[in-house]
Amino acid sequence: MKAVLSDRYGSPDVLRIVDLPRPEPKANEVQIKVHATTVNRTDDGMLRPHPFFIRFASGLLRPKNTILGMDFAGEVESVGTEVTSFRQGDRVFGMSPDHFGAHAEFLCVPGNGQIARMASGVCFDEAVVCEGAWYAHSCLKAFGLRHGQKTLIYGASGAIGTAAVQLAKFYGAEVTAVVSTRHLDLATNIGADHVIDYTMEDFTKIGETFDGVFDAVGKTTFFKCRRLMKPNARYATTDLGPWWQNLFLPSWSSITGMNRVVLPFPKCIDGFVEFLKARIEAGEFSAVIDRRFPLEKIADAYRYVETGHKTGIVVVYVRHT
C-alpha cells in the first residue's frame, strides 16, 4: 500500500511516499480502506514535534508512530475474528488518536474504539471531522456548559473553533464568535448568535460578560479575557500560551480555589464518534472544508496547515488504483 512515512522529526520536507505492506487486523481490529483523511494541528504537532515535550510520549529522538494521520473515513476491508459490530463494505469514520496511521491507503483500528458507521448521504470528505470536534468537545465540557449559558469562542474559524460553535449551539449555549473579516459569514452560517471581527474591534472591550470564554486558536490569554468573565466563569484554551502560562495557570487557579483556567487534555470518550454521527445526521454539525489535497501532495497540505490560517479542516483524499 501507499503510505506517507514520517520516520524523522522535522518540516514537511521529511515526509516520503513509500510502498509498505498493508497492516493486518488483530483479532479485535477493523482494517479500513482509507478514502479521506486530514492534515490537522495534531499531525503537525507530532511531525515537528511541537511542543518539545511531546517527544517524551512520541519518541525522544525518532517518532514511534511513523505514519501520521488521526482522522479517517473509508470502507471496512476486513475485520478481526472478535469484531462483530462491523463488516466488510461498511462506510466508517473516526479517529486514531493513539497510533495515528491514516496517512496511508489502509489502516487498522480497534473495533470498539473511536469508529462508527458514517451517516447516510455524507461523503468521505465531510466525515473527517473528529480531531477538531474532539478538542472542542473537551474544552466545552470543561466549562460545564449548560443550556442558555453565554459563551465566547475566540478563533471560531479553525477546525476546533468551527466545531466548538456548532457543539456549543447543540448544548443550547448563546454563542459569540470572534473571527477575522473573511470569516464573519461563516461564523453566522454555522450558528453563532453574535459575531465580532477581531481585526476591526477589540473584543475584550465589548462591555459584556460570559459564563465561559474559549480560546480555540491559542492567540489570546486569560489575562486579556478576564474582564469578559462572570465571577464563576471559566477560561478554556487549546494552547500553551506565552511562556507556557496555560500549563501553570490551571494549577494556580485550582490551588487558589478559583478553578477559572482549564487546559483540557482530550481523553477518549466511549461513543464520541457515534455522538458526532448523531449530530451530523440531525443537521447539527457539518464539516467546514478549506482545501483538498491528494495523498501525493500531502507535504503541501502540511505547509498550508502550518500557516495557522486554514478555515475548518484540510482534507487529504486517497485514490485507490
User: Which residues would be at the binding site for ligand NAP (CB under 6 A)?
Assistant: 40-42, 45, 50, 132, 135, 155, 157-161, 180, 182-183, 198, 216-219, 238-239, 308-311
Name which of 2 and 99 has its Cβ closer to ligand NAP.
99
Name which of 18 and 289 has its Cβ closer to ligand NAP.
289
Name which of 31 and 40 has its Cβ closer to ligand NAP.
40
> How far apart (Å, rounded) are the C-alpha atoms in residues 46 and 55?
8
Angstrom CA distances, 129 to 36, 158, 173, 189, 280, stand at 11, 12, 21, 17, 10
How buried is 101 (Cβ within 10 angstroms: 0-12 exposed, 13-18 middle, 19+ buried)? Answer: buried
Q: How far is the CB of 105 from ligand NAP (least distance, A)?
A: 25
Q: How far is the CB of 147 from ligand NAP (least distance, A)?
A: 25
Q: Are 312 and 285 in contact (CB under 8 A)?
A: no
Name which of 159 and 192 has its Cβ closer to ligand NAP.
159
Q: How far is the CB of 103 from ligand NAP (least distance, A)?
A: 16
> How far apart (Å, rounded) are the C-alpha atoms in residues 314 and 294?
11
Q: How far is the CB of 136 from ligand NAP (least distance, A)?
A: 8
- 182 Cβ neighbours under 8 A, 6+ residues apart: none
Start-end of H helices in 2-117: 41-47, 55-58
Residue 144, number of CB atoms within 10 A of its CB: 11
> How far apart (Å, rounded) are the C-alpha atoms in residues 302 and 13?
10
Angstrom CA distances, 320 to 3, 170, 243, stand at 12, 36, 45
Start-end of H helices in 23-151: 41-47, 55-58, 124-127, 130-143
Name which of 57 and 123 has its Cβ closer to ligand NAP.
57
Q: How far is the CB of 209 from ligand NAP (least distance, A)?
A: 20
Q: How far is the CB of 61 from ligand NAP (least distance, A)?
A: 19
Q: How far is the CB of 79 from ligand NAP (least distance, A)?
A: 30
Name which of 288 and 295 has its Cβ closer to ligand NAP.
288
Name which of 40 and 166 has its Cβ closer to ligand NAP.
40
What are the strands, taking DSSP E only, across the chain? Answer: 2-5, 16-19, 29-38, 71-79, 91-95, 106-110, 115-117, 150-154, 174-179, 194-197, 210-215, 229-237, 261-262, 289-294, 313-317
Q: How far is the CB of 217 from ligand NAP (least distance, A)?
A: 4
Name which of 76 and 102 has its Cβ closer to ligand NAP.
102
> How far apart (Å, rounded) are the C-alpha atoms in residues 108 and 79?
9
Closest-CB residue for ligand NAP? 158
> How far apart (Å, rounded) are the C-alpha atoms in residues 214 and 202?
16
Q: Residue 38: helix, strand or coil by DSSP?
A: strand
Q: How far is the CB of 139 from ligand NAP (least distance, A)?
A: 10
Name which of 23 and 155 has its Cβ closer to ligand NAP.
155
